Amino acid sequence: MSLIEGFGVLGDPMNIFYMFLGVTLGVLIGVLPGLGGANGVAILLPLTFAMSPVSAIIMLSSIYWGALFGGAITSVLFNIPGEPWSVATTFDGHPMAQKGQAGQALTAAFTSSFFGGTIAVLLLTFLAPVIADFALEFGPAEFFAVYLLTFCSFVGMGKESPFKVISAMMLGFALAAVGIDTVTGQLRMTFGSIELLRGFDFLIAVIGLFGVGEILLTIEEGLAFKGKTAKISPTIVWQTWKTLPKFWATAIRGSIVGCWMGITPGGATPASFMSYGLAKRFSKRGRFFGTGEIEGVVAPECAAHAAGTSALLPMLTLGIPGSPTAAVMLGGLLIWGLQPGPLLFVEQKEFVWGLIASIYLGNLAGLIVVLTTVPIFASILRIPFSIIAPVILVICAVGAYTVHNAFGDIAVMLVFGVLGYLFKKLNYPLAPLVLALVLGDMAESAFRQSMLVSNGDVRVFWSNWLVGTLVTLALLMLVWPLISMLIARVRGKKDEDDGEVETVASH
Amino acid sequence: MSHEAAGDRSEHTVSVRTVDVVVAVLFMVVAAVVMWDALRIGAVWGVDGPDAGYFPFYIGLLMFLSSAATAVMAVVTKTPDLSSFVERGQLGMVLKVLVPTVIYVALIPFLGLYAASAIFIAFFMAWIGKYGPVTIVPVAIGVPVFLFVLFEIWFLVPLPKGPVENLLGY
């Protein structure tokens, strides 16, 4: 019922226009190096300040769907993942392009993305109101428990060294604390500087870390694009579509993995790897994976898009984003005066259902846009880096300035850019840093409120079954790296886990 | 410790391990500052609940401990990563991008964003891309003009303007 009202919101032709504009901009962002879902949305956020919240969120979420679609184009044609979650798509997507099946690979990737996104939005439609209803009863202790679980999951599920995850996360919390303390009004870590009084805005951090940092990394690799050309004709699309139904099991498995990883803050990237791994294990043609199997494209794309979509579920219902991009959108909601969380479903029905309806249509719009415009976007990739790079740096500077109309922010963005470059090279994860910066104040006030209620007694976090389960689960996540190391040791794989975990360079 | 590294000596700068330790120590310094500031404003249970420094203190403490662990692990590991953190040529490329960007950002308050961007793009294309004026002029002028139309006219978001825009009557 409410969903139908949501589609009614979309009846406004301007909203449909913003949707197509958003998807197109999103694909562009997904294709360009240095611009991705998170910083792309952050840069374009100020453009939406003049719009109504509904139109604005429709455009921003469409940018995000576009970026999810766009990542696949560079993966298949150039073997360069435009987004971290499309790394797994390169494994079979690029070999297919080398065999001259770029069109088939892209059609499969886009269709799988669409499928994964649709499954996730169905889940969102039915689950979100239930969770929001449930969360209305939450007190500060419950909210802190959910925050704790979010952050501990990064430690438990991250590929990076758990110590580096914690360091990066704590840096985010520390940066979030800079400025005026919301409870006592005291100044924290401002050291007498007026610039620091405003604190650090995570949008600036996102633009610097993901945008400038990525440009520096790309230039270091001495970028030489050697791409395959893609021809997508209706015949190829039709023929590929006829082969896809037999991968239904892989697609559904990938979507489920994606939904799960999107809701818990694992995110789209690990979801795509996990789905690829599962498909390889279960497929009859598993041993051919990596040589250009269409199923190896279907699996990661379903998962990535499902994860990207379902990351909005905790963001909307609890006010806790599951990914940096969802965090940026949450920032947008706050700017428009909308407080994400369970009350949103009660007080802002039109907004919530308009957004959910726009995801259905945005996915479809994305599919149409990418299937028809691949050659144009592929040709953008052929523009030399020495032209693209300064333009992207200019766009980043504009984005950083427009957040608060402050020159100082552009300099802060540059510092974050260098930090992002260093962190990426040393395998410090960026997502926990960003989420801690976004949620720092809220997590802190939830913690202080629950401490106030209990008079400083930590047992408040085990005072009922819900809070107790969440906190226990969180602590389990926190020590999970230790547990898995012990298990590995018992099995006799001593030498592998001793030192640093080596991760494959993913850029 | 960077002397044992294998590979091309001339391209070698510092090892990954060295940078890893340096960054971890910097983290510890930041953590110490956070804890010091938290203690200054009070990190204990005050009269009416936890003080303003209560939460940040533990944040700082956790950051300090985990970074110390990273540093220690990088030093005592049996398989240290002694490969070059960044090769000389790569570092040169990164600086070639970073230094002009810093100058560009410093110029924005004086020239306005549009003029500074035009100069930056033109300089970058000429210096790194070795393009001639025929390619440079359309991009260096076109991008700021497009941004102007997009922000000032279409979305009504004002960006910093300088003497050039004043001259043109904006």
Tell me the β-bridge partners of B112: B161
Q: How confident is the model at residue B121 (pLDDT cuts 50, 70, 90)?
A: very high
Q: Is residue A502 part of a domain?
A: no
Q: Which residue has the tokens 């190391």?
A: A485
Highest mean pLDDT among A32-41, A145-154, A303-312, B120-129: B120-129
Three-state secondary structure call for residue A180: strand
CB contact under 8 A, B56 and A177: yes
CB pairs < 8 Å spanning A and B: 181
- For A498, the closest chain B residue by CA position comes to B77
B63 contacts chain A (CB < 8 A)? yes
Is a pLDDT exceeding 60 seen at residue A108?
Answer: yes
> Is the model more confident about A484 or about B103?
B103
Total domains in the fold of chain A? 1
pLDDT higher than threshold 90 for residue B22: yes
Q: Are B41 and A186 in contact (CB under 8 A)?
A: yes
User: What residue in B sits closest to A183 (Cα-Cα)?
Assistant: B52
Do the chains contact at A174 and B104, CB–CB below 8 Å? no
In what helix (H) or strand (E) does residue A172 lie, and over which residues does it extend? helix A162-177
Q: Is B153 on the interface with A (CB under 8 A)?
A: no
Using the Cβ of B134 and the Cβ atoms of chain A, whether some distance falls under 8 Å is answered with: no
Tokens of A8: 């009614």
- Distances in whole angstroms, Cα of residue A130 to Cα of each of A31, A76, A136, A218, A317: 37, 39, 10, 44, 9
Q: A449 lies in a domain? A: no
CB atoms within 10 A of CB A263: 21
Nearest C-alpha in B relative to A415: B102
CA-nearest residue to B88 within chain A is A220
Per-residue pLDDT, B117: 92
Within 8 A of B151 by CB-CB distance, chain A residues are 47, 398, 402
Range of the domain at A83: 2-151+203-401
Say if A166 falls within a structural domain: no
Name the pLDDT band for A416 (thresholds 50, 70, 90): very high
End-to-end CA distance of chain A: 44
Model confidence at B103, pLDDT cuts 50, 70, 90, reads very high
For residue A34, is it within any domain? yes
Is the pLDDT reported for residue A266 higher than 50? yes
- Most A CBs within 10 Å: which of B15, B21, B98, as the mutation test of the A interface? B98
Token pair for B23 = 């960054």
Mean of pLDDT over chain A: 82
The answer to whether position A170 is within a domain reads: no
A residues 195..234 contacting B (CB < 8 A): 212, 215-216, 219-222
A350 lies in a domain?
yes
Report the gap between the CA of B161 and the closest CA in chain A (Å).
Answer: 12
> With an 8 Å Cβ cutoff, are A219 and B94 in contact?
yes
B4 pLDDT higher than 60: no
